[in-house]
Amino acid sequence: MDFIVAEEGVPVSVGAYGAKIVYYGSEIVLNYETEPPMGDFIFSAKLPLLNREIPFWMYGRKLVFLDAYYVLVEMVEKKTWDPITTVIINIHTGKYASLEHWYNNVLIKENEIELKNDYDKKSMILKNVNNLKWI
């Protein structure tokens, strides 16, 4: 298992051995689950400081830590690899909110996050996480 210290806005990718990622006093541990036919590793995740397991699997590519609380990930239902949906997780509480679509391109700007899907051209501007439906 790799040990990674994440940086704000810098995408993190995790290899097949999994990883413990630390960020602003929080931790997220990714454990390898599977690899779909098109490649890229899929992981289960746990927030060990909260003793909370994330209820979905996530791809280990492009995990983007947005600030001291939030990480943006590509999720799938457990035991699947498709469809992919972008989700934001509060790593201090374990709550999460789906962005209802897969955005594979993330651009962090001063007061917003621009999300795009390079394949279907759908885009979204995220300015305030408080307006999301948190679970």
For the segment 82-117, what is each residue's pLDDT rounded down to a tens digit? 999 999 999 999 999 999 999 999 999 988 999 999
CA angle 50, 56, 59 (to 5 degrees): 105
Cα gap 101→111, rounded to integer Å: 21
Residue range 17-43, pLDDT digits in tens: 999 999 988 999 999 999 998 888 999
Q: Name the average pLDDT for the chain.
A: 95
State the amino acid at position 102 in one-letter form. W
